[in-house]
Amino acid sequence: MSLFGLKFGKKKLKEEERLLKANNRDFNLTFEYANNSIKTSKYNFFTFLPLNLFEQFQRIANAYFLFLLILQLIPQISSLSWFTTVVPLVLVLAVSGVKDAIDDFNRHKSDNHVNNRLVQVLINGRLKDDKWMNIQVGDIIKLENNNFVTADLLLLSSSEPHSLTYIETAELDGETNLKVKQALTVTAELGDNLQKLTDFCGEVKCEAPNNKLDKFTGTLTIRGEKFALDNEKMLLRGCTIRNTEWCFGLVIYAGPDTKLMQNSGRTTFKRTSIDRLMNVLVLVIFAFLALMCFILAIGNGIWEYEKGYYFQVYLPWAEGVDSAPYSGFLMFWSYVIILNTVVPISLYVSVEIIRLGNSFYIDWDRKMYYPLNDTPAQARTTTLNEELGQIKYVFSDKTGTLTQNIMCFNKCSINGKSYGDAYDVVGQRTEITEHTEKVDFSYNPLADPKFVFYDHSLVEAMKLGDAATHQFFRLLSLCHTVMPEEKEEGNLVYQAQSPDEGALVTAARNFGFVFRARTPETITVVEMGETKVYELLAILDFNNVRKRMSVIVRSPEGDLTLYCKGADTILYELLDASCGALKEETTEHLNEFAGEGLRTLVVAYKTLQKDYFEEWHKRHHEASTALDGRDEKLSELYEEIEKDLMLLGATAIEDKLQDGVPQTIEILTKAHIKIWVLTGDKQETAENIGYSCNLLHDDMDVIVIEGNTSEDVLNELREARTKMKPDSFLDSDEINIKFENPSTKPRILPEEQANGVYGLVINGHSLAYALEGNLELELVRTACMCKAVICCRVTPLQKAQVVELVKKYKKAVTLAIGDGANDVSMIKTAHIGVGISGQEGMQAVLSSDFSFAQFRYLQRLLLVHGRWSYIRMCKFLSYFFYKNFAFTLVHFWYGFFSGFSAQTVYDQWFIALYNLVYTSLPVLGMSLFDQDVDDRWSLLFPHLYEPGQQNLYFNKVEFVKCMLHGIYSSLVLFFVPYGAMHDTIRSDGKAIADYQSFALMAQTCLLIVVSVQIGLDTAYWTAVNQFFIWGSLSVYFAIIFTMYSDGMYLIFTASFPFIGTARNTLSQPNVWLAIFLSIILCVLPVVGYRFLKAQLMPTVSDKVLRKIREAKKRPLPPMPKTRLRRTSTRRSGYAFSHQHGFGALITSGRNMRPKLPFATTGTFSPNSEKTRRK
């Protein structure tokens, strides 16, 4: 069984290199390459039963109960009927089996949906529709616009000029900006000629399948001539074809060999920390059980040898028993059966019911329902609820998870005046709401109807012909790399390489400067209704060092102008000295914009002299064609001409966060949850969003790791750790001592505290080095001391590796949240995976444990549902172990008074009904309805979440306390009734000290005591709790008076021997006095301990609950609704998603058709319905 369960028959050798021939299936099949079918399911119809049972019996308790069942079938040692074990065991196996079957059925459906998609395959000279799963390596397939890419393909040809193909890689790296791929010239000539494509017999030799999304190395051999292949010629599975009518590709990797599937990771069986703890505790209980049985067996052997041997006339030994040691051996197994209730199988049935019930609460929560796309929250698994209350690390995707990836032109500063705020009739600034009046752009027939702006004064300035305002929007309409499409007159759509640029050009369009068309040499703009054609003389392209771009244009009047936009920190150094006053005013506006979390950008221009430009242009041409040092020469020329710029103003773009993201992150941070953002986006984008959503703030010392070698990264990480905690390099440091000697055992890092507030930003290439064996410890130590971590440009597999790293070194529960296929491996790796539904693609949701539509619902999932589930499960386990220790250990003490004969204390019917009827509903009522505070207080006091992170409510220490409590209670419950019965007579002078009366009294004491105990444990009383507790006691008394009646004895003499015991015993006052004494002795120490502990050693939870009790006396504070505003340093938002070199592509004309300015079949508008849904 290989990745995703795909079977390849005999075991394959590891592939070192791949060789394939186009259109030659027979040749390619000899290498047994995987076909394009994927399989994520675990079972099929025939393997389900054996495999599922095998998995279930790997749970220690299930195997133990099977062993008990076998023991109960042996007559010599069986003291209880076999059905007391078989019925609950079958029920547990059936419930778990049905749940696993449903989960796997959904996986089958998902697999079938993908595998049965249709694609056009070239077979025998004709295009034929075939299913994805039938595609083989070496096939040539045709893809059309908006098609998903079927497999990893080598691009052969396309409908676009120079065989360019535009793809969207959102499912791979989270980016929605388009990327350009280009075929080799030799294959581009094939076009869409089916005969040429059929005759194509190229041979590809390339690297073996791997998970590196940004790397591909290979060669294509055609007629003896070799051509180099790289990643720019590959279309990867998971991408979507955009703005390309058709393209042909050669399948290189298929199915599980594709880079997307190589990054998807395995589906692992997730267990909660409480599950793992229960396995350990069950082993401890088994050892304790074996010890008790051994003691009783030894006691039986001694008693039979000393006493029983001489009483055989009255108490004959069982058939086959001929010695005291053999009798002791049989009694060992008899006591194993009797005392097995110390771990009853009903524990596991109850746990499944509690988890199921708490899962329904998530499904039914209206406050986690998103009405805009009719998406409720969904608990896709029912086994992980309580782990939601223990999360320490949240790993989040950015695009589509924190942000909507919609850029909106929000505000601007032009010539020292700020625009974008809304004002009332008296000129006072007002908060923008849905009722605020919007600017009416109906005067502009080419305006985008979905563009929204609220400041009417900017439109007035445009209409009045303000020169600076016109120049500002002229710059926005000319200085960019956007491509337009106008299929119908006036119906413009823009295809922007970055959403920022689309927003700026759309703003210019609405304010009257409409970018209409472009050729390699010209840009057509409609300026306030008048069409003007500007000659495009040069594009000074963007790169990460320059952080700006410029265009040089000649206006129809012959004026030469350089228009520039870029990061304020860069452009301010290039401004003319005369701009000093305007620079100060603009700086003030920039600070205000940045304080609102907007992405800022400065714009400037420069009028050029004709003679100077011609001379510069000649040098520019020489530099652009130079073979050596081209980039350096161009950079020098750009620096030379981009000087003495005249400042126009600044723009402020809002990268729209999902609703409530900053508030959610703030609340989660207060709950001591550390949030790491893992994104495929660039560093600037990720940092900016970090500030916008309150993950990073200006009081935080942000450390950037961007080394290009392993040594650089190590030095940067160590410098960061030296800054955060200098003592961590001392030989006496606890961690240094612990990790001094190499060990194969996993070692957990203790929590380290930094000497300040730090944030960490690390690049993808640096992260690749940091994840290597010798650096991973350095990375995790440094990163875990930070309040926030942002990893940029990471691949899907790196996301999973980061999560795995924290799981490996930290004793903490992790949660990963994302919305795309690039997040699947991270979601599968984390303890809890959350999928954001309602976005494009459902891969993340299908792989997740929980799903909902908005990131803001995470706070409710964790702080309300997770916390309640954790508290309920801990209370359930503590109480369950207590009541069963108290119940079972009475048998142990009774053994010393019954000749160790394995006689039960209680009536057999009481034993059968104790966990099933008498105590099951009260504990379920508490476990399904209990809450220490309601959901509102849970969100207002996030510190209440901390005990779950530290696992304070149920751990090994708490288990020992339950055990000691149970042992103490069992002593009281045995010896008080025993002492009360000893040599006692009834009020009428008759003896009461018989076995049946003692049994009834002991079981009545037990049941009342455990009922009082659950009353003490219940924090939130409902009618259901009251009904379950009082109802269970009522049912108990009703059953014993019925079963111990004369009528039942006459009908079923053998089954109901306790005739008249209830009415005889329970009518005696001294019996009730003994019951009351038992209750007092059992309950009083508990009440005293809890009171003193809360007063003398209050926990964090105790302190917060005290505050809440005080706050409840006052009116409830309103939930915060205001938008978070803060002061902030400026951060440029320019062209974060740009690819270097796109300007050169435009000026070359290689991406343009001869007639149409830009032929596309896809659309882009920053406010389009499609983009809104993202």
Residue 791's nearest CA partner among 822, 821, 812, 813 is 822
> What is the rounded CA–CA span in Å between residue 971 and residue 1082?
10
Residue 545's nearest CA partner among 430, 659, 631 is 631
Residue 451's nearest CA partner among 463, 439, 443 is 439
930 Rama class: left (phi>0) / alpha (psi -120 to 50) / beta:
beta
Residue 962's nearest CA partner among 856, 1018, 885, 909 is 885
One-letter identity of residue 151: A
C-alpha triplet 1004, 1007, 1009: angle, nearest 5°:
105
Spatial strand order in the sheet of 164-168: 178-182, 164-168, 240-242
One-letter identity of residue 495: Q
Q: What pLDDT sits at residue 630? A: 77
Cβ atoms of 531 and 573 closer than 8 Å: no
HSE-CB at 1123 with a 13 A cutoff on CA atoms is 11
> What is the rounded CA–CA span in Å between residue 927 and residue 924?
5
Residue 283's nearest CA partner among 1113, 959, 1026 is 959
Contacts for 575 with CB less than 8 Å, ≥ 6 apart: 583, 604, 644, 645, 646, 647
Per-residue CA distances from 38 to 107, 112, 256 (Å):
11, 9, 6
Q: What pLDDT sits at residue 85? A: 65
Per-residue CA distances from 375 to 7, 107, 641, 696, 1041 (Å):
37, 21, 54, 30, 53
| 483-488 and 491-495 beta bridge pairing | antiparallel
* Token code pair at residue 960: 């020992």
Q: How crowded is residue 892: how many other Cβ atoms within 10 Å of its Cβ?
A: 20
> What is the rounded CA–CA span in Å between residue 399 and residue 1137?
12
> What is the rounded CA–CA span in Å between residue 198 and residue 126?
8
Handedness of CA 506, 507, 509, 510 (dihedral sign): positive
> What is the rounded CA–CA span in Å between residue 37 and residue 116?
9
Identified catalytic residue from 111, 257, 397, 655: 397
One-letter identity of residue 648: L
Beta strands in 1071-1142 (DSSP E): none
How big is the chain, counted in residues?
1174
| DSSP secondary structure letter of residue 874 | H
| DSSP secondary structure letter of residue 656 | E
One-letter identity of residue 373: N
Q: How crowded is residue 873: how many other Cβ atoms within 10 Å of its Cβ?
A: 23
Cβ atoms of 601 and 547 closer than 8 Å: no
Q: What pLDDT sits at residue 1050? A: 60
Mean pLDDT by 10 residues, the chain (1174 residues): 38 78 92 88 86 81 79 71 68 80 82 90 92 94 92 93 82 69 90 92 92 86 90 90 91 91 70 82 88 92 77 65 79 85 76 88 93 88 88 88 82 92 76 80 86 89 90 94 78 79 91 88 90 91 80 92 89 89 91 79 92 90 78 87 92 85 92 91 78 85 89 90 81 63 67 87 89 86 91 86 91 90 84 78 77 93 95 94 93 88 82 83 91 88 91 91 94 91 68 77 93 92 92 91 68 61 74 91 92 86 81 65 46 51 66 46 36 39
C-alpha triplet 56, 61, 64: angle, nearest 5°:
105
Angle between helices 710-724 and 776-784 (to 10 degrees): 30
pTM over 0.85: no
Q: What is the DSSP string of 976-1017?
A: HHHHHHTT-B-TTS-B--SHHHHHHHHHHHHHHHHHHHHHHH
CA 88 from centroid of its chain's CA atoms: 35
Cβ atoms of 7 and 83 closer than 8 Å: no
Q: What is the largest CA-CA distance in the chain?
A: 131
* Token code pair at residue 905: 């204390």
One-letter identity of residue 808: K
> What is the rounded CA–CA span in Å between residue 808 and residue 780?
10
Q: What pLDDT sits at residue 602? A: 92
C-alpha triplet 874, 880, 884: angle, nearest 5°:
150
Contacts for 238 with CB less than 8 Å, ≥ 6 apart: 148, 149, 169, 171, 172, 258, 260, 821, 822
Cβ atoms of 264 and 796 closer than 8 Å: yes
Cβ atoms of 817 and 834 closer than 8 Å: yes
Q: Which residues pair with 964 in a beta bridge?
A: none
Handedness of CA 368, 374, 375, 377 (dihedral sign): positive
The radius of gyration computed from the CA coordinates of the chain, to the nearest angstrom, equals 37
> What is the rounded CA–CA span in Å between residue 162 and residue 1153?
10
Spatial strand order in the sheet of 513-518: 417-419, 403-414, 646-657, 599-607, 560-566, 548-554, 530-540, 522-527, 513-518
Cβ atoms of 906 and 997 closer than 8 Å: no
Cβ atoms of 534 and 518 closer than 8 Å: no
Residue 141's nearest CA partner among 166, 129, 133, 257 is 129
> What is the rounded CA–CA span in Å between residue 914 and residue 895?
20
Cβ atoms of 1145 and 541 closer than 8 Å: no
The yes-or-no answer on residue 365 being catalytic is: no
What does the buried/exposed string (b/e) look like for 205-233 if buried means 16 or more CB atoms within 10 Å of the residue's CB?
Answer: ebbebebebeebebebeeeeeebebeeeb
* Token code pair at residue 73: 């079938």
Per-residue CA distances from 66 to 85, 96, 886 (Å):
8, 16, 24
Backbone phi and psi for residue 797, each to the nearest 5 degrees, phi listed first: -70, -35
> What is the rounded CA–CA span in Å between residue 1018 and residue 1005?
20
